[in-house]
A and B are shown apart, each in its own frame.
Chain A
Amino acid sequence: MTFLVGPITSVFDVLLAPFGHGWPWFDLVLWPLVGAVIALVVYKYVSNQKAIAAAKDRIALHLYEVRLFPEDLRIVLGSTLKILWRNAVYVGHNLLPMAVMLAPMMLLITQLVSHYAFAPTPVGEPVVLQVALDSGRPASSVQLEVPNGVTLDAPPVRTADGHAYFRLRGDVAGDHTLVVRQGSETQTKVWSVGGEARKVSPLRTDSLEAWLYPGEPALPGDSSFRELRIATAAQPMHWLPDGEGGILLWFFALSLLAGFALAKPMGVTF
């Protein structure tokens, strides 16, 4: 399934790029709002709206009982148990819509993360390209070809456990394509150096992690490379936590606010 990462990313590159470049907050406001609308639509048509409304009414009713008869221990205890049960029912009614919403929301979030959570490596700052091969393969023959504007800063280290490490220095800003070879196989890894905030890909892999880092297409399933990784600094997010944490927090906070604001106009009960 990781082969889908590339095409989906291409779609988002078109959706995000016209607005995102130079004005990231536009995307970071627009897409949580879009996410909220999608979530509400999914919720409205996938969930059992009547059952959810009934569960909420029941919870309110039992809370009312507790407030009316606070000195009657039997009623308080019974109502509390009923509240717990109705809460469980309410949560149960939410499971299906949440499961349906999970995929599109994750797609949206990971694409925002990929575009806005990571900072390009400053020009002149060394980083290490980590190449991991499938287990059992020796890394002794892994080769790296660097483009103009990138310097191999030290001789590589190739380890017995299938890893190769290349210390690189970016001399010129840009999205540089690094080429790695192992036997007859050739793969590439994009390294973003200097310049403005933009889509940055810290990891290219053939594992499920590719869905979390969709900045580049996943490695093919039959590749002898397991992952190509470059440690990347988190993008400062002003008053929010830096990087991924900030994007997640922002997305959830804004989409929740929008969800609450739009629920009634859209006729959604949750």
Chain B
Amino acid sequence: MMAWLSAAAFAQPGMFVLGVDGMDPVILQRLIDQGRVPNLAKMAREGAFQPLGTANPPQSPVAWSTFVTGVDPGGHGIFDFIHRDPATYHPIASATPAPEGEATVFRLFGYVLPISVPEAGNNRGGTPFWDLLHKAGVPVEVYRIPGNFPVPESEAKVLSGMGTPDLRGGYGTYTLFTDQPVPSTSKGDIIRVQVADYDLDGIPDTVDTALKGAPDVLHLEPGQVPRDDDYLTARVSFSVDPEHETVAVRTGDGVTVLREGEWSPWMTVSYDAAPFGLMPIEGIVRFYAKELRPGFQIYASPVNISPAAPAMPLTSPTDWATDLLDEIGPYYTQGMPEDTNALRDGTFTDDEYLKQVGLVQEDTRRVLDRALDGFKPGSFGFLYVSDIDLQCHMMWRHGDPKTPDAPPHPAMDPATAAAHAGNIDHFYEDVDELVGTVRAGLPADTRIIVMSDHGFQPFHTKFHLNAWLRDAGLLVLKDGATTGSLTDVDWSRTKAYGVGFNGLYLNIRGREGQGIVDPAAAGALEAEIRAGLEGVLAPETGARVVRRVVSRAQAYHGARVAEAPDLVVGYDAGFGNSDESTLGMVTRAVFEPNREKWSGNHLMDPEVVPGVLLVDRPIEGSGHDLTDLTATLLEHFGVAKPAEYVGQPITIR
């Protein structure tokens, strides 16, 4: 049966989709006009190039889940990076809800041994298109798809992308071994070390230290959040040569020699969760010799889950991760490997950050080569590319690539801006090269689609949504306080609160833990808030801050609408919710110039950040969105569209 189905699939051309996170149609059009992206220009000239409607809100996990499942967030249940627990109001990661059910453990000599522990599944609902294609006999290989961790069971070959944690279980914690003072606000793990002079030759040259890895799971209660000292450690040593600017880095059996300013290859680190090596947990890490003398600073990347022995599944089928390792060598498994935290902290300069991004790009090219080598006639392939998105987030401050005559970004540093103003354009050129590789590496009849989940805008002003709600009298803190967190909120007098980048929740009675808003009065309250927010003007420029506020009933359809925020706040270009407010904090000011390196954004109204649709053949119609694209994939392979899929297939001529 499968052979017959496969034969049927091979009878038609294959399809390859390059998913370029954050590619913006305005920037792309400019670069096409300037003749800087010849491969993309050729696609636009010979095929189709249109803006692609994104999800609401246009956040990557939301948009990619929409593309993967063909339904809007009301169907797949991913409404934001961050959701809230209605009972406690606490922010929670949208991808992995807290597992339900009680764990059973057995305690022995201080160890907490799990007998049965409820597993945290992937919160994304709906049916991924790859399952439908695979079931129809279409060979499928999907590389680095966002929002697919924890990896759901599937027989289709899928490598998890954005959202895949590092070995610590977070989205990427780097380590800096340094003998220099570092601000305590750092997002990394800063290890103060002393460079020792063991041979008493007057030259300090040796550092023996430890690198944190996986949580010490056999000493943690089920569900317990690890504290700083609850992680397993692996011994790492650095030996600086007394004469040369070189260092030997040793981890377990591995050793490498680095010059100052060099990156190591991937090195394996092993953590023992149980005595006698009974439960080894393996990770891979790269070191960067930032400074060897006179100061000592060595950066270690977040410890990635090793594809050789994954501590958690990275792919479906599970052993595909190891097959890929055998074919292309070690690769980044962390979902967002570009270390934006190190740049935000000042641990990396712009140049150092770009060098690290270069390593990720190299990795992407190897994965693409593998994807093209493995592409069979009549099959479906997908590769996700992260560079444009993250570099638009981090490099926009150096010069607005969308509106070159825009006023300088508040985070612009004249000392570095000139050297980096063109960085974002270069990343478009790099994607253009990938497109050239794709076109050259596939059978001539393969349909090639380049798409993005959203576009980009500057982010020059932070809006503290919860501070605005406080000033509007809708959110009240205990004891007359004006600043605080969600734990400081007086819920008996609070009607609305914000959690997530675009989410606003009403404190509905019977739904929220301490709700006070009568469900019957919710509509009027929503209208009041909508009118208020849509009328907010920036104090200095008078610009509109919020372009549109929509209710969940307007925005979503499907079985999970009830989990959505009551209102989705769509910011206008240049504005966005602050990180503090996203996590439920209430700040003093409502507005704040964004002086952070995270200077470009897309967490706005979907209409100001459409994505890109490029097809290598002409298409019919316009105004397509992500769900249409999903329907198109299925139709291309003759697979019936499930009833819940909301998009309409795009006709490719």
Contacts and interface: CB of A to CB of B under 8 A. Distances in A.
A174 to B, nearest CB: 23
Nearest to A130: B255
Interface in A84-130: 126, 128, 130
B199 A157 contact: no
B474 interface: no
Interface in B183-218: 197-199, 201, 205-206
Interface in A152-201: 153-161, 163, 165-167
Interface stretch (B242-250, B333-341, B400-408): B242-250
Given A157-B247, A159-B205, A231 B254 contact: yes
Given A155-B241, A155-B246, A160 B254 contact: no
Interface residues of B, number: 26
B257 interface: yes
B198 A155 contact: no
A138 to B, nearest CB: 7
Contacts of B254: 231
A155 B247 contact: no
Contacts of A159: 205-206, 239, 241, 248
A198 B92 CA distance: 55
Interface string B568-599: 00000000000000000000000000000000
Contact of B244 (A128, A138, A157, A160): A157
B255 A165 contact: yes
Given A128-B256, A140-B242, A160 B206 contact: yes
B239 A163 contact: yes
Interface of A: 126, 128, 130, 138, 140, 153-161, 163, 165-167, 231, 236
B256 A138 contact: no
B516 interface: no
B199 A156 contact: no
B253 to A, nearest CB: 8
Given A138-B199, A163-B239, A157 B206 contact: no
B259 A160 contact: no
A236 B325 CA distance: 12
B258 interface: yes
B326 interface: yes
Contacts of B201: 160
B239 A157 contact: yes
Given A130-B255, A157-B241, A231-B254, 13 more contacts: A128-B248, A128-B255, A154-B258, A155-B244, A156-B246, A156-B257, A157-B247, A157-B248, A158-B241, A159-B241, A165-B239, A165-B248, A165-B255
Contacts of B197: 160
B257 A154 contact: yes
B256 A160 contact: no
B88 to A, nearest CB: 48
B240 A157 contact: yes
A160 B197 CA distance: 8
A236 B206 contact: no
A148 B199 CA distance: 35
A163 B201 CA distance: 16
A140 to B, nearest CB: 7
